Amino acid sequence: MLTLDTFEEASIRVKEVTQKTELIESPHFSEATGNKVYFKPENMQRTGAYKVRGAYYKISTLTDEERNRGLITASAGNHAQGVAFAATRCGAKSIVVMPTTTPLIKVERTKHYGAEVVLHGDVYDEACEKALELAEEHGYTFIHPFNDLTVATGQGTITMEIVQELPLVDYILVPVGGGGLATGVSTLAKLLNPHIKVIGVEPAGAACLKASFEAGHVVKLPSVNTIADGTAVQEPGDKLFPYLQENLDDIITIEDDELIVAFLDMVENHKMIVENSGLLTVAALKHLPFTGKKVVSILSGGNMDVITMSSVVQHGLIQRDRIFTVSTLLPDRPGELVRVASIVAENNGNVIRLDHNQFVSTNRNAAVELRLTIEAYGTEHKHQIVDALAAGGFRPKLIQAHL
C-alpha cells in the first residue's frame, strides 16, 4: 500500500543520494500560458534523472540475501543509471538490459556507475523480457523500473518536496511512461491535499495509459513510435493502474514535433538541457484549458546524447521558421547572384548555405537554379524576405530545408 508513512520514510531515505532540485519559476512560460509556471528540475538530479529516487529506495528495502544475489533490471536509460548508482552505493552487483536503440550516453553512464550492460530488443518491453529470463536463469533479484509500489513510493518523494516549497500548488504535470512516477506523484499529492490536480503527460506515439483509461483496464499497444525514448512503453504497470485511475485527474498526449519546439524553448529561455521525455510536461503547458493557476512541470531527466541534441536543434529551428530554404531560377549571367544576395542582406537575412545548379536546364542562358538556405528571426521575417525576392522578380519557391 502507498501510505503517507511510507512516503515520509522514503523522503528521508532518498535524501542520502539525491541533490536538492528547488523549483524554478519561469517568467517566459508564465507569460505564454497565463499561469504561474514552475519547473521541478529533476534533469539536474544525480544520474541526470529522478529515477535514482525509486531505485535507491527499493534497493534500501531489500534484504542482504536479495542484494547479494545480484540485481537486474531493464531500462531505456534513466532507471538503468539509478539502479547502477544505487547498487554500487549499497555494494551490490547490477546487470542492466537496455534496448539497442538506447542513446549511447545512457549506455556509457550506466556502465560508469558500475553496472554490466546487456543490449537487447528495440523497445523497453523486449529488454524487460530478456531481463526476466536472466533473473530466472541466474537467480538475480529483479528491480522493475515502474511496476513496483516500492519504486513508485521513492519516485513520489518529488511531490513531498514540491508541496513543502509551494504549499498552494494547483496543478502538477508529470510525464508518463509505465506510470511509476505518475503513481507516486499523484498518490502522495492526493494524500497531502485532495485539491491538488495531477495531469499525466505521455507521447502520442506511446499513449498506453490513455488507451488503458479509455478501455477501463490495462492495454498493451501493438507498437510504440516516439522520440521520447524514456517513455516509449507499450503498457502501464498493472500494479499501478488502480492508483492511476483513482488519483490522476487527466491525461494529455503530445506529438513529437511539439517536443522539438519545447527543447528550443528550454535552451533559449532557461539555458537547460532536458531530454525528450522530460519535455512532455513543458509541451503540455500550452494545452492547459485554464489560466491563473500555480502549475509545476516535472522535468524528469536531462540525459540526451549530443547527436540527438544536434538533430533536435536543427529540426526545431526549421519548425520555427528560423531556418528556411528557397529555390529560384535566374539567368546565368554575371550579377544575378549578387542581386539575390543583396535583397536578402537588405532584409536582414543571413545566408548560411548556397547551392548553384547550372545544369537544371539544357539552356543555361534561360535559367539556372539557385537554392538559398537562410537564417531568419521567425515566420514573419521569413515572409518578408520571400516577398522581397518576389518583388525583385525572382519568383522564389519555398522547399524543404536541410542543414
Query: Looking at the annotation, which residues are catalytic?
Result: 51, 300
Q: How far, in Å, CA of 51 to CA of 58, rounded?
A: 11
Q: How many CA atoms lie within 13 A of 122 on its CB side?
A: 5
Strand partners, 373: 325, 353
User: In this structure, are residues 318 and 63 in contact, taking their beta carbons and an 8 Å threshold?
Assistant: no
Start-to-end Cα distance in the chain: 53
CB 385 within 8 A of CB 377: no
Within 10 A of 352 (CB to CB), how many other CB atoms are there? 12
What are the two backbone dihedrals, phi and then psi, of residue 398, each rounded to the nearest 5 degrees? Answer: -75, 130
Query: Under a CB-based contact definition with an 8 Å cutoff, are residues 141 and 151 in contact?
Result: no
Q: Are 113 and 98 in contact (CB under 8 A)?
A: no
Cα–Cα distances (Å) from 29 to 35, 69, 199, 282, 285, in that order, read 8, 48, 17, 9, 8
**Got the DSSP string for 84-129?**
HHHHHHTT--EEEEE-TTS-HHHHHHHHHTT-EEEE--SSHHHHHH
- Are 76 and 230 a contacting pair, CB within 8 Å? yes
Which amino acid belongs to residue 335? G
3-state secondary structure of 118: strand
- 48, 81 in Cβ contact below 8 A? yes
User: Which residue from 154, 204, 128 is spatially nearest to 49, judged by alpha carbons?
Assistant: 154
Cα–Cα distance for residue pair 301/103, rounded to 1 Å: 13
**CA dihedral angle for residue 204, residue 208, residue 210, residue 216, rounded to 10 degrees:** 160
How far is Cα 90 from Cα 103, in angstroms, rounded to an integer?
26
Residue 146 phi, psi (nearest 5): -145, -35
List, in sequence order, every beta strand (DSSP E) within 244-349.
250-254, 294-299, 323-330
Q: Which single residue is written with the C-alpha cell 518529488?
A: 158
Nearest to 84 by CA among 119, 46, 42: 46
